Amino acid sequence: MASLLNIGASATAAFKTAIGTTSHNIANIGTEGYNRQQAKIVSNTPSNYGNGFVGSGSRVNSVERVYASYIQDQLSSVNSLKSRYEEQLSLSKNIEGIVASNDKGVQQFMQRLFDSLQNLADSPVSNTNRALVIDEVKNMEGFISNLSSVLADSQAQTNSQVENVATEINNRLDFIRTVNKEVSKSFVNGSQMPNDLLDKRDQAIFELNSYMDVKTFRQDDGEIIVYTGDARLPLVMGNSVYHLDASRTEFNNENRTEIYLNIAGKKTMVSDRITNGQLGATLDYRTNVLDKVMNEMGVTLNGLSASMNWQHYQGYDINGNAGQNFYKPLNVSATASVQNIGPEDGTNITISFKPDIAGLAGFNGHPPYNIATQPANYGAKETFLDTANTAIGNFKAREYEVRVNAAGDFEIFDHKEGGVALATVAFGANAQIDGLDFNFNGITAGSVTVGDKFLIKPHQQMLQDFSAVINDSKLIATRGQTPVDANNDGSLLDEVPSAAAIGDNVNMANMASLQSKKMLYADSSGISSETILGSYSKMSANLGMYVRATDIQLTAQNNVFEQVSARRESISGVSLDEEASNLIRYQQAYEASAQIIQTSQTLFQTLLGAMN
């Protein structure tokens, strides 16, 4: 009878555990990342009875998760892509709203500016028309200033977002390490694995993938090692966790937050290793949307200011003086890396728009011209203008990195692309690159050393510095070259530069025509493909295509995510119908097991009564 009592006791204990496990499943039906658990009921070792064996009941061998690691890994990976495109779409739509809402504004302000130039060309002696030009120039300046401020705010918000997401990632990494320790203890002690903790660790990895792409590797002792998405740098390994460090770049005043890891005592930038999740989306958006928009807008503004200035140089104002600057010319300095050894802070490395025309005959200095610096003849002046327009066509929406090589010369690279140097400039010299003048004349001996680096963002700087110079309507150079052929040779090209009559409108008509003239983005043959306004519209169209492509990718990833989620639920999810059925079954089995104990007691009492 003792064996019957033991069978009943072990059975009730087993079914009580099964009822508890089923109840636990029902209670966690709404818990994120929870995997259904099962009580594994197995037979006890049978007892030897005579020439055979008699069963000795059952017991719960373990409570296991219903879990498919390959599906969980796939779900986390898909979630990383889904989160990337969700965040990327949200961010890019925001900047698209800024650009698109201002697209019409830019066109209107620029159109009004060129309309005012055309009105002045139609009536060059009208004081009202001259004043209207000044007003429209100022209006355009104010509009661009507001737009620049909004984009600068977007940069600051991006920095904050990178920092916040890095904090969330570090919290998940810490939790994964903590669970790893508990799992390792259970493995060493040979005890039941902490199922709920394992679920929470999987959920932390799932959430971690929503922030950034990672690679995970399960170890034999139950621990999980976490690496960056390219599987090259560790994030969690054993008892060590490597936190992301969101901090400013090595270049002073860049005000740009990147992601770093401290590996073997060395701070290494890993932003380019993070491609998915919210962090990957934010970094991609900043590089391929925000930076691109600001650089391309800067090219547009540099094109506008340079072309307007140089055409204005060709003419003469009311007093017969050569035209001066219409807009503030590009003139920016580099910013130095904090890792530089030399004392040069970058202020003596400058980029400006000074076309390479010094070798042309008769030239005595860069514009704006005055009586002393006018070219020798009108033909040379026209040639200078053509050279300047060619340089404007060579503008590229780039950022530049300057490095001091072993010879002490300066190598200029595309800051984002790296690769082969665009040019090498000798110490103390200058060079024309992408239509811009890189000047190192101010660098003194010993102020830079091999390996020193400097960063220059000329087009983004123009976006901040864009401003009108002209504020006196009398200084507007409406007049062109005098049509008088002094030596009667049928050409004005050999004539000394001189103003036409006060009512002449040639130069102002040429300035107004810049609206429709293709000035930017020259091809390999030197033919420009975009007007000034067209370059802004092109940037806006490219942004729209980026948003559209992201939207398509998000739709595809949502579909994949739903499919994988449904598959996981079919295996590991809690079904109320199934659990309710199990609950009734285990309850009935528990009650039947209790009857075994009661029957055992009745038989035992009967036996005692018979003996008495």
At 137, the pLDDT band (50, 70, 90 cuts) reads very high
Least confident of 446-460, 499-513, 535-549: 535-549
Can you tell me the mean pLDDT for 245-268? 90
Contact between 454 and 336 (Cβ < 8 Å):
yes
Buried b (16+ CB within 10 A) or exposed e, 440-477: beebeeeebeeebbbbbbbbbbbbbbbebbbeebebbb
Can you tell me the mean pLDDT for 441-453? 94
Q: What is the pLDDT of residue 160?
A: 95
Q: What is the pLDDT of residue 100?
A: 66
pLDDT of 53-88, one tens digit each? 778 888 888 898 998 889 999 999 999 999 999 999
Q: What is the pLDDT of residue 67?
A: 87
At 275, the pLDDT band (50, 70, 90 cuts) reads very high
* Secondary structure letter of residue 499 according to DSSP: B
Can you tell me the mean pLDDT for 213-220? 91
Q: What is the pLDDT of residue 167?
A: 96
Residue 413 pLDDT greater than 70, yes or no = yes
At 388, the pLDDT band (50, 70, 90 cuts) reads very high
Can you tell me the mean pLDDT for 14-39? 91
Contact between 26 and 574 (Cβ < 8 Å):
yes
Angstrom distances, CA of residue 47 to CA of 4, 13, 599 = 12, 19, 20
At 598, the pLDDT band (50, 70, 90 cuts) reads confident
Residue 372 pLDDT greater than 80, yes or no = no
- The pTM score is 0.87
CA–CA dist 568, 574 (Å, integer): 11
Percent of the chain with pLDDT over 70: 97
Q: What is the pLDDT of residue 578?
A: 92
Q: What is the pLDDT of residue 102?
A: 62
Provide the residue ranges of all domains of the chain, joining segments of one domain with +. 2-66+573-611, 76-321+502-516+542-572
Q: What is the pLDDT of residue 399?
A: 96
| CA 558 to centroid of chain Cα atoms | 22
At 103, the pLDDT band (50, 70, 90 cuts) reads low
CA–CA dist 140, 110 (Å, integer): 7
Residue 357 pLDDT greater than 50, yes or no = yes
Q: Enumerate long-range contacts of 218-227, CB under 8 Å, 24 or more apart.
A: 218/69, 221/183, 221/184, 221/187, 221/188, 222/183, 222/184, 222/186, 222/187, 222/193, 222/198, 223/180, 223/183, 223/184, 224/176, 224/180, 226/173, 226/176
99/129: higher pLDDT: 129
Least confident of 203-207, 431-435, 604-608: 604-608
Mean per-residue pLDDT over the chain, rounded: 90
611/78: higher pLDDT: 78
Residue 393 pLDDT greater than 50, yes or no = yes
At 359, the pLDDT band (50, 70, 90 cuts) reads low
Can you tell me the mean pLDDT for 408-431? 93
CA–CA dist 186, 192 (Å, integer): 7
Q: What is the pLDDT of residue 6?
A: 84
Can you tell me the mean pLDDT for 246-261? 91
Residues sharing a CB contact under 8 Å with residue 525, sequence separation 6 or more, in sequence order:
none
At 611, the pLDDT band (50, 70, 90 cuts) reads confident
At 1, the pLDDT band (50, 70, 90 cuts) reads very low
Q: What is the pLDDT of residue 402?
A: 97
Q: What is the pLDDT of residue 358?
A: 67
At 365, the pLDDT band (50, 70, 90 cuts) reads low
